[in-house]
Amino acid sequence: MRASALAKTSAALLALLPANVLLASPASARHAPLERQARYVAMGSSYAAGPNIGQSADTPPNRCARSAVNYAHLLAQAKKLALTDVTCSGATTAHILGPWDTIAPQISAVTPATQLVTLTIGGNDLGYMTAIGIMRCPRASEDERKRYFGGNCPAPKPITAQDEEALKTRMASIIQQVRKQAPEARILIVQYFSLMPASGNCPATGLTDGEVPQIRAIGRRLAKLTVDVARENGAGLVPLDRISAPHGLCSKEPWMNGGNPDMAAKDGAPYHPNAAGMAAAARLIATSLR
């Protein structure tokens, strides 16, 4: 999809939304527009990092798999911001607040001079992508089962209300810590992209008709949780789940990859955003900053 067409699509979607959908806390609403070279820290997991989209943002590439055209980089280019991108594929909330082996806590990048923080986190805490892998495991080849699961397919792990409350608590702690380290920073929770179709199924999902609703339910629970966290903690929210829904896996113009993308095309990882999705996300975040 061409950039001009994608921009028109994003604008049309925004026009259909109520004015209060791009949420901003009372505190963030008082912020003046970001000036050029304002310091921006992007934190989060693979849905923010953008694995396998174009060129790596890191030289040499590392296991965080940050793309040079993920939403943070595109936003920084558009708004002329000074970006520190510490997003990392596979990250959980624990890796925002604490180290991950040799990788420093993501939050250590936030300083008193930071003026904008974006956060996309929580999917790995709830086992979002793991659930898809477990469902597909019985249909995988023996080599794939050995590579990803040690040979045996694990039993699915249901998400409990306690899991959700624990995640909300950890996300609230992240917001509180950002405020402590950067009192003047705007904080935007950028939701995960909507993945599964609202109804039905298609080959791109790589899942059975019975599995799709289960993964859809995880996505919806994660979306609701992020709305609640933003509202309860006075953070801004970029409602990517709702706005990306017409561009899910079974759409004509998907912002996500299905289960078996052409990895050589460098347009994203399986069940992750593609370049069109990242471009749309960057525009939506830019809109929320106006």
Sequential DSSP letters for 206-269: -S-TTTHHHHHHHHHHHHHHHHHHHHHHT-EEE-HHHHHGGGSTTSSS-SB--SS--GGG-B--
* pLDDT surpassing 80 at residue 178: yes
Q: Percent of the chain, pLDDT > 90?
A: 79
* Start-to-end C-alpha separation, the chain: 26
Orientation angle between helical segments 161-181 and 212-233, nearest 10 degrees? 40
Residue, of 157 and 168, whose pLDDT is higher? 168
Q: What is the pLDDT of residue 105?
A: 99
| pLDDT of amino acid 30 | 61
Predicted confidence at residue 10, as pLDDT, reads 41
Burial classification of residue 140, based on how many CB atoms lie within 10 Å of its CB (0-12 exposed, 13-18 middle, 19 or more buried) = middle
Spatial distance between the Cα atoms of 182 and 64, rounded to a whole number of angstroms: 24
Q: Which residues contact 39 (CB under 8 A, 6 or more apart)?
A: 81, 82, 84, 111, 113, 114, 115, 116
- Residue 65 in 3-state DSSP? coil
The pLDDT score that the predictor gives to residue 158 is 93
3-state secondary structure of 190: strand
Question: Which stretch of 206-220, 235-249, 260-274 has the lowest confidence by average pLDDT?
Answer: 260-274
Of 10-19, 76-85, 124-133, 260-269, minimum mean pLDDT range? 10-19
Q: Which residues pair with 239 in a beta bridge?
A: none
Give the pLDDT confidence score for residue 183 in this predicted structure: 96
Give me the sheet containing 236-238, strands edge to edge: 82-85, 39-44, 114-120, 186-190, 236-238
Q: Of these residues, 73, 95, 247, 272, which one is catalytic? A: 272
- Class (C level, CATH) for 34-288: alpha beta
Question: Under a CB-based contact definition with an 8 Å cutoff, are residues 62 and 15 in contact?
Answer: no
Of the residues 25, 28, 45, 46, which is catalytic? 46
Residue 71 CB-density burial (10 A; 0-12 exposed, 13-18 middle, 19+ buried): buried
Chain centroid to CA 127: 14
Distance CA 238, CA 285 (A): 6
Query: What's 193's DSSP letter?
Result: P
pLDDT given at position 48: 99
What is the mean predicted confidence (pLDDT) over 48-71? 96
Are the C-beta atoms of 67 and 87 separated by less than 8 Å? no
Give catalytic status of residue 194 as yes or no: no
- Cβ atoms of residues 68 and 77 within 8 Å: no
Say what the pTM is.
Answer: 0.89
Under the banding of pLDDT at 50, 70 and 90, the label for residue 150 is confident
Contact criterion met (CB below 8 Å) for 120 and 48: yes
Query: What is the pLDDT, as a whole number, of residue 18?
Result: 37
* Predicted confidence band of residue 81 (pLDDT cuts 50, 70, 90): very high
Catalytic-residue membership of 46: yes
Is 199 exposed, middle or buried, given 0-12, 13-18 or 19+ CB atoms closer than 10 A? exposed
